[in-house]
Amino acid sequence: MKKMIVIALSGGIALLFFSAFLSTMNAGKKDIHFNHLAIFVYDLEVSKTFYREVLQLEPIPEPFHDNKHTWFHIGEHGQLHIISGNQKEQTHIKDIHIAFSISSIEEFIKHLDKEKINYTNWTGDKKSAGSRADGVKQVYFQDPDGYWIEVNDEFPAVNVIRGCLKNPKKVTAERRGDAEFTSRINFISLRLCDSAVKKYF
């Protein structure tokens, strides 16, 4: 019995020390993260179909159950909240947009063509993808209410390959054995980077 009490006390003390350690680690960090984006739409069913079929977002439960709300999961912690009741005619500018990332912009463009969605690059050229200053490819299109959407290929795996091909010696020398980098790109290994280097250089 005494032995069990000692073990319990030891465990409790260890837990207190661990909690104190976590508090120290989190000291100075702001406890804030992105939660959701809400858009106000005219026809809920049309918008729901668009975001489910075109962007292939995953619907999640919403607490209202009033046929005026639809929620979708976006990203690790984020949500998209769609709320009906807006007027039919709306005006939106491209500078204000929501952006999503995908591994292959080419495959996504095929999907847009299949869904008969008009898309442009930033300058407005129809059926064209553009590139940011950092090389990320992107397309723009509008949802049924005119809200602008960007889809780009700023994806971990794509960025690794892009970095390998751009400066292979630096990437392989600095990144090999870097556990943090390996975990950050998660599903792609450094072997892929090495393979790219061997293939193109």
Q: Which residues neighbour 157 within 8 Å (Cβ) at sequence distance 6 or greater? A: 103, 185, 187, 188
Query: Residue with structure tokens 């006390």?
Result: 9
Question: Is the pLDDT score of 113 beyond 50?
Answer: yes
Question: Is the pLDDT score of 15 beyond 60?
Answer: no
Q: pLDDT band at residue 22, thresholds of 50, 70 and 90? A: very low
Question: Is the pLDDT score of 59 beyond 60?
Answer: yes
> What's the token pair of residue 116?
């008969």
* pLDDT given for residue 31 in this prediction: 86
> What's the token pair of residue 99?
């952006």
Question: Is the pLDDT score of 9 beyond 50?
Answer: no
Domain boundaries, the chain: 36-152, 156-200
Question: Is the pLDDT score of 128 beyond 50?
Answer: yes
Question: Is the pLDDT score of 2 beyond 50?
Answer: no
Assign domain 36-152 to its CATH architecture: Roll (3.10)
CA distance 180 to 170: 17
* pLDDT given for residue 193 in this prediction: 57
Provide the 10 A C-beta neighbour count for residue 195.
13
Alpha-carbon distances of 158 from 31, 66, 103, 179, rounded to whole Å = 30, 41, 6, 19
Task: Produce one character per residue of 77-92: b if its CB has 16 or more CB atoms within 10 Å, e if not.
Answer: eebbbbbbeeeeeeee
Describe the crossing of helices 190-200 and 156-166 by its angle, rounded to 10 degrees. Answer: 40
Alpha-carbon distances of 182 from 3, 78, 160, 190, rounded to whole Å = 44, 24, 10, 7
